[in-house]
Structure 1
């Protein structure tokens, strides 16, 4: 991820869950929160309800890759995004995860189609 850093600190996750806005669809839930930083941050959360470690890793890779390929279309800087995988994401293909993520970014009004 060229323009985005990973979100790793627990207090950052809690801040976004508490103060951020969220939208959801069949496969994913997307939280966003605006900060004064110059870079965007991305956190991915996949619970044990989704599946075993192999399944969770696969879903995480699919989410990270779909964000990476679309990150230059994210408008603005200083956003913290958290993507939470739902249990339906277990059997989803890459195209389904990517379209679900793009749909959520459009709902949050941070996705630019023109680029």
Structure 2
């Protein structure tokens, strides 16, 4: 079984990386999370987090980020490889680890289907 680590190489870190994902405008939401996605050229899936001040003070925002990181860490083996993701929590009242894990996996699968459909359309018949 693969380890469930979360190394620095799995983080989106620079503003250029965030900008690249946002610019593609490939996103999906389900009321708990909004996820932007883009493919990358590495075999790992990376995640960036964006938690706005509308969720509360620094303590609350940091708690949400900890929950999102843990949800990604535990679910990373269920996600396809080679994606850059940005996760944005939508409802802090539904902020539980289980809800974030479910939502992240469900949304990424939906986005992956969208990537596959778009790849099929780009190929001439």
* TM-score, structure 2 as length reference: 0.76
Higher helix share: 2
Give the conservation status (yes or no) of the 8 Å contact 1:55–1:90: no
Confirm or deny that 1:18 pairs with 2:26: no
Deviations 1:3-40 (A, max 9, x none): 95111100111111011410011121111101222332
Give the conservation status (yes or no) of the 8 Å contact 1:41–1:80: yes
| Match for residue 106 of structure 2 among 94, 103, 107 | 103
| Match for residue 92 of structure 1 among 92, 95, 100 | 95
Aligned-residue RMSD, C-alpha: 2.0
Confirm or deny that 1:81 pairs with 2:85: yes
Give, in angstroms, the shift of residue 55 of structure 1.
0.7
Q: Distance in 1 between matches of 2:79 and 2:29?
A: 18
Higher strand share: 1
Q: Distance in 2 between matches of 1:66 and 1:52?
A: 21
| Runs (5+) with no aligned partner, structure 2 | 1-5, 114-125
Q: Tell me: CA distance 1:62–1:92, structure 2 relative to 1, closer, same or farther (3 Å).
A: same
| Runs (5+) with no aligned partner, structure 1 | 111-115
* TM-score, structure 1 as length reference: 0.82
Give, in angstroms, the shift of residue 90 of structure 1.
4.6
